A and B are shown apart, each in its own frame.
Chain A
Amino acid sequence: MKYLHKKYAVVAILIILLALTFFMAYINGIFTPLIERIFNETPQARIYDFVHAISTDNEKKASNLWIIPEWWNSDFKEFDDLKARKERVINELVNKKISPDFTIENIELWRTCCMPGIINDYKEAGGARIKVKLISENKTELYYTFDIFTRETTYFGDAAGYPVRNWVIRDIYADGDSPIFWTQSAN
C-alpha cells in the first residue's frame, strides 16, 4: 500500500513537472511556429486562399480575405484609395481568369515594432511583402505584390513571448504601383 502511494506521488510530480514545462514553453512561444502551421496562419496560406478564391470566381471570399484596416475610416486619406484599389484588383484578376497556380518570387519580412525595418528572422516578423507571379488564362505572367501583416500590425516577437500571429492581407498591387497600407521606409 505504501509502495502504491509512493508510485502515485511520483506520477503526480512528473505530471506537474510536464505541465509546468509545457506552460513555460508556451509562454516563451516555443509552440508558436507549430500552432501557426496547424491553423494555417502563414502569409503564404493567405495568398493561397486568395488566389484560389479568385480562380474559382469567388469574389466574395477574395474580398473577405483582403481586409481594409479596421481602424481606418474616412478620416484616413488613404481609405478611399485602398477601397477603390481592392475593388479594381479583384475585378481585374477575376476577369483575367488567373490560374490557381502561383509562384512566390520574393519575400521581404518586416519588423513592425520599435522602428520598422526589413529583417531576416520570420519569428520576429509582423509583416511580409511578397511578390507573386500569377498566370492569366492566356498564359500571360502577371506580377503582384501582397502586403500581409499581423492583424494588430505591431508584433513584439520575443519581448511579448511570441504570441500566435493572425496574418491578414492588407494590400495587393501590380508591378509599378505603390503600396497604400504600408508606406514605411526601412529604418
Chain B
Amino acid sequence: MNLKRIGISAILLVAIVAIASVPAGASYNRYNAEKYAEKYAINPNPAFRYFDQDCTNFVSQALLAGGWAEIGKYYYYSDDAWYYDGGSRPWYGNSWVVADSLYRFLERHPDRASKLSVGHPYSTRFQAGDIIQIDFDRDGRWDHSMIVTGVRLGDADDLLMSYHTSNTLDKSLISIQQANPNANFVGWSIK
C-alpha cells in the first residue's frame, strides 16, 4: 500500500469532517447581542460597511456579537451561507444583508433559530436578542429585519425594537404593527 496516498487521504478525510462539523456557535449570548444593537442602532459600527438599506446587515452584526459563527464563506447566493469577510470592500453572504435571504437561512437552520408567530403575549415568547421580520406587502418575501432590545412586562406587554434604515432604537413593536396594519410579521427565537 502506498503510505503517501494513505496519508493524503487521511488528511483529506479529517479536513472534510472538520469543515462539515462547523458548529452553529457557542450558545447565543443575548446580552451581548442586545448591547451591540443598542450601541450601534443610531450610529452604525464603522468596522462594517454601511448600506443604504442596512436593516439586515445591522441585525447580522448583532447576531455575530452574540456569538453566532459564520458559515459558508464565499457562497454568496447560498441560503446555507451567513458570513461577512471584512474590510472596506467586504465579501458577504446574501443572507447577511438581505432580509428575505436571512429568513430562508433561519428556516434552513433550526439549530440556530425557531420560528414564532408575532402576537400577544410578547413578553413571555420573545427575549432581547430575538429577531422580528416584516413583509409589508404580503407577497411572501420578507422586507425588513429588526432585533428585540427590550421587553415590556405585565399589562404593557410590548417589545422594543431596534433597527436600521431608518436607524431606530427601542421602538414599540405595537406601534410598528399599528403603523403597518396590512403587513405580516414573523419572529425568530434565537438559540
Q: Which chain A positions have C-beta within 8 A of B56?
A: 114, 159
B152-176 interface bits toward A, Cβ cutoff 8 Å, 1 = contact, 0 = none: 0000000000011110100000000
Q: Which residue of A lies closest to B145 (CB)?
A: A114
Q: Interface range on chain A: under 10, 10 to 19, 20 to 34, or 35 or more?
A: 20 to 34
Closest CB in chain A relative to B29 CB, distance in Å: 25
Query: Are the C-beta atoms of A157 and B51 separated by less than 8 Å?
Result: yes
Majority SS at the chain B contact face: loop
Task: Tell which of A76, A111, A121, A182 touches B165, judged by Cβ atoms closer than 8 Å.
Answer: A111
Query: Are the C-beta atoms of A159 and B54 separated by less than 8 Å?
Result: yes
Q: Does residue A116 face the partner (Cβ distance < 8 Å to B)?
A: yes
Q: A76-B138, A154-B141 are in contact. Are A114 and B97 (CB under 8 A)?
A: no
CB interface residues, A 22-47, toward B, < 8 Å? none
Q: Which residue of A lies closest to B134 (CB)?
A: A115
Query: Are the C-beta atoms of B166 and A187 separated by less than 8 Å?
Result: yes
Closest CB in chain B relative to A32 CB, distance in Å: 14
Query: Are the C-beta atoms of B98 and A156 separated by less than 8 Å?
Result: yes
Q: Does residue B27 face the partner (Cβ distance < 8 Å to A)?
A: no
Closest CB in chain B relative to A84 CB, distance in Å: 19
Query: Are the C-beta atoms of B55 and A114 separated by less than 8 Å?
Result: yes
Query: Are the C-beta atoms of A124 and B139 separated by less than 8 Å?
Result: no
Closest CB in chain A relative to B80 CB, distance in Å: 18
Q: Which chain B positions have C-beta within 8 A of A157?
A: 51-53
CA distance A152 to B100 in the complex (A): 12
Q: A113-B144, A185-B179 are in contact. Are A158 and B52 (CB under 8 A)?
A: yes
* A–B complex contacts, Cβ < 8 Å, 16 sampled: A111-B165, A113-B55, A114-B144, A114-B145, A114-B165, A115-B165, A116-B143, A154-B143, A156-B99, A159-B51, A159-B56, A159-B57, A159-B98, A160-B97, A182-B137, A185-B180
